[in-house]
Structures are given as C-alpha cells and as structure tokens.
Chains A and B, each alone.
Chain A
Amino acid sequence: MRKTKFKSLVMFLIVFISAFALFAQGSGEKAAAENTSGFEDPVLNIAVFGGGYGDEYWYQIVEMFEEAYPGVTVNMQISPTIGQIITPQIAAGDWPDFMCCNGNDTQGLITTMKREKAILDITDVFDSPALGEEGVTLREKMMPGLLDSRKYAPYGDGRIYFAPFNCGPTGLVYNKTLFEKNGWELPKTWDEFYALGEEAAQQGISLFTYPGIYPYYWEHMLIAAITAHAGVDAINAIMSYEENSWDNPEVREVLEEFVRMAQGYVLPGSEALNHTQSQSELMMDHALFISTGNWVESEMADAPRTEGFVFAMAPAPCVSEDETSYIRNDGDTFIIPAEADNTELAKEFLRFLYTDESVKLFAEKSNGVYATADALELVEGIVSDGVYGMYSVNNQPGVNAVVAVLDAVPDGCNVVPMDVIWNPVPDVLAGRMTIDQWIDQIESAYAEIRSYM
C-alpha cells in the first residue's frame, strides 16, 4: 500500500516536471515562412504598451506587416504593464528590437534607458523617404516642429531618439453641450475663467475638479499656462532643471493666478479623488473643467454621463488678453533599443507604422490619431466627434502647441521630480503650503539634481 503511494508520488512529480518543461518551451517563436523580404534576419521581436487604445490595432498591423514582407515573423509581447514584463528580460541581456512606450512611463524603464543612453539614434529613419510616398521624407510627413522637441530629441543635439506615436493635445477638458446650453463662451484669461466660475456657481457647478490622488494631472494645464505667460524658453528651463526656473517672476505670476482657484472654485472633495472618479464628476456636470488629455474619451467610454455630453478641449488660461494661448501636446512613443539585434527590420517596421493605411487602421480600431501632419484629415469621419474635436484644438487660430517633458535625472540621483513638483498641489490649494514654500521645495530638489550633472 505504502509502496503504491510512493510510486504515485514519483509519477506525479515526473508528470509535473515534464509539464512545466513543456510549458516553458511552449512560449517559443512561431515557425517562419520562406524569407523573401530582403532582410537578412526575418524575425522581429516587439514589446508594446497596450493601454487605453486596446490590442486590436497592434494584432492587425503586425499581420499587415508580415503580409507586406513575406517571410518576416513578428513576435509581439503586448501588455499594460509591458515595462514590468520586459525589464527582467532586458536585465538578462535579451532586448526587444522595437518598443512602443507609454507616454508617462509609469514603470520607469524608459526613463532609465534614456538616462543610460540605451536608445538607438533614429534620425536616419526620419531623413529617409516615407513609405508609399514619392519625394517626401518621413520628417516632412510628421506634425511640423514636433521632432525638434526634447521629448523626441532628448539630448539637445537635434538627434532623434524617440519616434512620435499619437502626440495629441492635453489641457482643459470640458462638456461642449453644457457650454452651448448655457451660452457660455470659452474664457481666455484667468480673470475670465474665474468670472465664469462665479456664473457656474449660481447653478451649483464648480469651475474645476482634479484628481487629488494623482496631482500630476495638473501638468496638462499648468505647463501650457506657464508657456503662454513666461515663454517656451522658460518652460524648457523648467524641464531641464535650470536654477531659478521656478523662482521666475513670470512663472510665479502664473502660480498665483492658479492658486486663486482655492477661493472656492474647486469642487469640494476633489483632493481625495483618483483620475476616473474626478473625470466622472466632470461627466456628471459637477464641474466645468478638468486638466487631462485626449485619451479621456476612450478611458471613460463606459462611464455614466449627463445627456448629450460631448468631450471638448480648451487651451490653458493666459494672464493677459494679448498673449497667445498654448495647448500642451503629449503622447506615447516608439523606440529602438541600442542593443537590439535586428535594428534594420525594426526601422522598416517603424516606417511602415507611419503609412496612411496604418494611420487609418489606428483611427478605426483605437479611435486614436497618429502624430503625422495630415493624420487629422485622414481620420475625419473614422474617429469619434469628441476625439476629432479635441485634436482640432491644435489647428485653432491663435493657439500654439507646446511639447515639454522633464529630462531624465542624472545617474545616481534619487530625486523623483514629478513627485516634487506636483505632490504639494493639494496642500497649496488647501492653504497648508504657500507658493513660496512650494517653489523653494522644487528649487532645492532641482539644485540636488544639478549636483549630479
């Protein structure tokens, strides 16, 4: 009796171990067809951030690429937490050939890669002809001025390391229908904003709500507001941790205008809300504006809303009437790791992603807009009215776009700049912290960052 038990235990272990071995092997590569693509190495390994835009576009574009280049096989890993999945692979020396990265890099992988210069220079891709178009370089096909930004050319030498995916406006999101119903005009200056706030208050509607749990959402509005008043150079100084970049009279004026919000213009309780809860408050018309991005429509697709609710986007407030309004633009990116095995095929895949077919497919499957110059014309009628309307704000007369992201902090520096800048906002708006204390805190963190440069 005991012997049989022992035998069955051994059998169980054998079966378990072999099943484990099989499983471990099972995740290997697909079988390749005959290679007539013209590329020596026909296997492309890609890692894709699969967030609010869903997976469908990626599965289909990979299929289209494999069809257009017979013999090529694309192995794709796609997940909302792709950073966590590929970090251990990278640490073991196994780099993907191509990566699609989340714009705000919640897993820190891209920040680290940027800091360690582990990303391939892809300037040559943008200077080469665009696929399927005669005499046009890829650079000319992109949204004008975009590639000069430090988001895509992060080292200030004009060389491009990040390729734009879906760069779109982020700023003040509001309900177009509510404005039309009440005959309200979009305010331009801070004074007009607060005047509108008084008017809305009579109907029990607050001027702003915000996700106090993630206060960095304010960057969508404040970066543009600072740019409008203090200029592009001032915002670039902030993004590269320059001394007195926050302790600048013009920046201070914008912050003072911003903090006027604490005089009853913020929906009570906002400081305890997360992003979806605060966006829900907007969609129930409890507040007029929220600082967020163009992805809000797909993110909140299933959330309840007031009748006729239509998402719309407004540029940030200006200090005076004669200033140019600014709207911040941001989005996800593509990179090719410097250590990738198959950089040639990865570059070709990148070119392929910018073809008109791909741009339309992305609009159709993900309700998103590529960062190419004519993308908005191509996707008219394919994307929803809300998304089309929000992207159109970039084309409004008198509105300029600004793309600004914080530089990676130097190696060995332990400061988390996003936290230092934005975490105090709930305290500032609650009167527990003054603007001076806020600025001092940022300036001393910046000084620490500079000491590592």
Chain B
Amino acid sequence: MSEHSSHSAASHEHGFAHPMPVPMLLAVFASLIFFTILTVVLNGAVPDFLELPVAMLIATIKALLVMLFFMHMVHDKLFNVFAFLSSVIFLGLFIISTLVDTGVNQPAIKEYRLTTPLVAPVQK
C-alpha cells in the first residue's frame, strides 16, 4: 500500500496517468509509416526465400512499436505485460506444433493420395 501511495505522490500532477509526450507519439507514427512503405517496396525486391521472413520481421518491429508506445507497455505493470505476452507464446506454440505436424504427416498424405485411386462422389 505504501508503495502504491508513494508512486501516486510522485506523479500527483496527473494522478496515476502517464501521458505520452506528443513528439513521441508522432515519432512512433512516422516510424510505422516508414516501415509500411519499406515492406511494400521490399515486396518482390528481395529473394523469394527471404520474402516471408523479411515481411514478418518488419511486421514484428511495427507490432513492438505499437505495443510499447501506443499501448503504453513501457509504463504498464509487468503482470499485464506477461499476461498479454502469454497469448503470443501460445500463438507461437500453435503455429510450431502445426508446422511440425504438417511436416511429419504431409508426405504420408501425399503418398496415400498418389497410391490410392480416387473414388468419385456418390451421385444421388
């Protein structure tokens, strides 16, 4: 409780708010627009195998900018940050397990398709 109070006292001018400075908001906006233009320009300009990794890297930089500054994560409680990041971890788990499953089973599915004659759907 005392920690709570001293925290509030330290920033009593705006209560418990942490207003983001306008220049910072504008700088984040300018960076986001820059990265959007960059990703469109790089589309088709980088080797095919780099296309997706580069696009995802730029998207992740943009996402981090939005989360840290527009969503105020820099000033937020660590618990809230962990709660939110847990969903990202789960998303990663879902995608990795999907890729592993596809990698393991897809060759077998393809082989089955090639070796098994197609059966026409039953006409009623």
Q: Do A and B bind each other?
A: no
Q: Which residues of A does B touch, CB under 8 Å?
A: none
Q: Which residues of B does A touch, CB under 8 Å?
A: none
